[in-house]
Structure 1
Amino acid sequence: MLSTLLLLTFFLPCCLSIPIVSSDVLDDLNFFKDYFQRFFFIKESQDYTVEDQLRFLQHFFKLEETGLLDEPTRAFIRQPRCGIRDTADYSLFPGRPIITNNPITYSLINYPEGMKKRTVDEVLQKATQVWSSVTPLEFQRVYSLESDIEFAFLAGEHGDGYPFDGEGNILAHAFAPNPDYQGAVHFDSDERWSYTNRGINLFLVAVHELGHALGLEHSQDPDSIMFPNYQYQDPKFFQLSNDDIRGIQKLYH
């Protein structure tokens, strides 16, 4: 409770003698609590104070560890990002699951509004080539319901227990390889997808989510495509970071 009051006091004008908490501050605090619960909460963290949670997140993302919901922290958690939980450096899913088929087949269920189908097809193909360029993997598109990885553009609650939130925070998610289930990469269809810096660049998000589908979790390295927050860069000059390459080659060599 004390840490929460300190956080709220941080945002109050110094001239006030009676604490008045604005709705914006409460919204930010509630957003942070939901963010931490969604992406970091584990059994061991259930007794963390809000200040502890803030310091944990700030340390994880290499922000200044103030323990306050300051402007850099607020701005960071509001950035568009992947819906998968966060871990550390390059990391692998528990048990190091991989896709054993090679070539890996993939299928596309539908297309987003605002992009030509041909462009989407080319974007996904280029995304697979990013990972095949540093591994022995090959990828092959198929036009049947049975494939190793299925791409789809979906909105809101779509049946997998990880609902999308409309245009904004959560862009996409994917699931670790599982020998008993088809792999899935889901994009939020409410986003404004593109192949430029307008809206959300589909190529960059597809490369990231494919990393998950192949067995990589998130990285703390901001230069890594597996960093959880979306960061635009020109696809023409895109290269995997050393962290990405080490991670994927740990699985496929």
Structure 2
Amino acid sequence: MEHWTALSLTLIWFLALCDGAPTTASPEDHQIAEAYLSQFYRDKNATFSGRILPNLEKELKAMQDFFGLEVTGKLDSNTLETMKLPRCGVTDVARYGHFQGKPKWKQSVVTYRITEYTSQLSKREVDTTITKAFQLYSDVIALDFKQIYNGTADIMILFKAEYHGDFYPFDGPNGVLAHANAPGPEQGGDTHFDDDERWTLRSRDINLLLVAAHEFGHALGLEHSKDPLALMYPTYRYVNTNGYTLPRDDRIGVQALYGKLFDAATSFRRQLYFFKNGYYWKKGFYSGLSMHEIKSTWPTIDSVDAAYEFRDRDISFLFKGQQYWAVKGNTTLLGYPKPIYKFGFPKYVRKIDAAVYVKSTKRTLFFVGTKYWSFNERTVQMDRDFPKTIRRNFPGIGSRVDAAFENYGYLYFSEGSRQSEYNFTSRRVNRFLLNNGWLDCY
């Protein structure tokens, strides 16, 4: 098989792409472009004999289309400028928004280990930043990430320059900043950062949080996005990281793999409310789905851990940490917040995971860790002999409950991305669902 040299491909560029027209691109620019297309836009399974040339014009058009440039197949200045931007080292030519075959982690806890650190930041700064990058995903999907310090983790992380043990050596400052593998066994998910870059936690040079979060998207199964506002856009662009959350395009992509995760859910005046971070989604039978900021409706509440509706009094209760509020429609009642211990919880309970009112028994069930309490709404007291274990008394739903609500006579218990539709009278699971079903428009 004949291999094409940089010189021969440069000549091909002048002949095939310039098409006889004047060009300001130098032979060096053409070599840069060919190397770029070879790395990011060429089918790695393709072979080129002495009679078949790489389709450089087609590759260039694909690149221009991906970045929203004018699709000419010519090496113009905008195209060349885009090629010279710092970027991720993962290819842009996958056929899906996810890696082909949609690989993902099957377990609920994914481990990671940093084997080699950069000297440009302290170990503590690196550890904290990597944790924050993973948290961007654990905030919106049913995966937890755990750092380990010995042995082999699911995701192995290192900082190293040039050749670093795989077949994709780094290229010095700028250029390729980092790369990561898709989920899978052995090297699946492994993530490498070029230690020739100037890693910082600020806007200057290369911000580690943004690059790490991008690469961990690959490690979770996301491919590159064509949306310039997405974290998974291939080229590096600094955005303010204070209060940074996963952009919508990336959130939709990762939730399509792992399912949606909400903090709390409740029925509320015959509509369903789903709470996540500082927002809630309202789903009506006829009105569809709408999203709102929690503080825009209840100004003193910025997030919700658990919620339930006591329909007999047209009141809903919203819980955060060790406090709770009573609300009626968009109005927060006077005298709130109050401490959760008014319900009779012991002092070691620091937050409520989920709550749901069961009309047939006039009881509200509170879920905390692997246990639950039963609160009698008639006597306004906790029932005796509680807490009890969830797994033993609600067979089939799992050991924990992240969110719970009632709808058309069934109780719905969420643990991670999975949800159990539960018949409380027979104490049996009717069927299993995904949380996605309730918020399928987002």
TM-score normalised according to structure 1 size = 0.88
Greater mean deviation of Cα atoms: 234-243 or 164-173: 234-243
Higher strand share: 2
Higher helix share: 1
Question: Which residue number corresponds to residue 31 of structure 1?
Answer: 32
Which one has a bigger Cα radius of gyration? Answer: 2
Question: Which residue number corresponds to residue 23 of structure 2?
Answer: 10
Question: Which residue number corresponds to residue 229 of structure 1?
Answer: 235
3-state DSSP class of the match of 2:171? coil
3-state DSSP class of the match of 1:94? coil
Question: Which residue number corresponds to residue 102 of structure 1?
Answer: 108
1:84 aligns with 2:97: no
**How far, CA to CA, are the matches of 1:165 and 1:102 in structure 2?**
35
Question: Which residue number corresponds to residue 14 of structure 1?
Answer: none
Specify which of 205, 214, 224 is matched with residue 199 of structure 1. Answer: 205
Counterparts of 1:1-253 in structure 2, within 5 Å, are 1=12, 2-6=15-19, 9-11=22-24, 25-42=26-43, 43=46, 47=53, 49-87=55-93, 91-181=97-187, 183-253=189-259
Aligned residues with identical type, % of pairs? 41
How many Å apart are 1:90 and its aligned residue? 6.8
How many Å apart are 1:96 and its aligned residue? 1.3
How many Å apart are 1:40 and its aligned residue? 0.7
**How far, CA to CA, are the matches of 2:133 and 2:193 in structure 1?**
14
> Is contact 2:17-2:75 (8 Å) kept?
no
> Is contact 2:33-2:83 (8 Å) kept?
yes
Return the letter of the residue paired with 2:82.
F
Return the letter of the residue paired with 1:34.
A
Q: What RMSD, in angstroms, separates the aligned Cα atoms of the two structures?
A: 2.2
Question: Which residue number corresponds to residue 280 of structure 2?
Answer: none
> Is contact 2:18-2:74 (8 Å) kept?
no
CA offset digits 1:8-41 (Å, max 9, x no partner): 7222xxxxxxxxxxxx711111100111111111
> Is contact 1:87-1:217 (8 Å) kept?
no
**How far, CA to CA, are the matches of 1:205 and 1:234 in structure 2?**
13
3-state DSSP class of the match of 2:26? helix
CA offset digits 1:162-194 (Å, max 9, x no partner): 110011100000001113445311000110000
How many Å apart are 1:44 and its aligned residue? 9.6
CA offset digits 1:48-88 (Å, max 9, x no partner): 65444332211121112233222211110000001000037
> Is contact 1:176-1:214 (8 Å) kept?
yes
**How far, CA to CA, are the matches of 1:104 and 1:49 in structure 2?**
40
3-state DSSP class of the match of 1:35? helix
Q: How many residues align?
A: 241
Unaligned runs of 5+ in 2: 1-11, 260-442
Structure 1 residues 173 and 189, CA gap change in structure 2 (3 angstroms): same
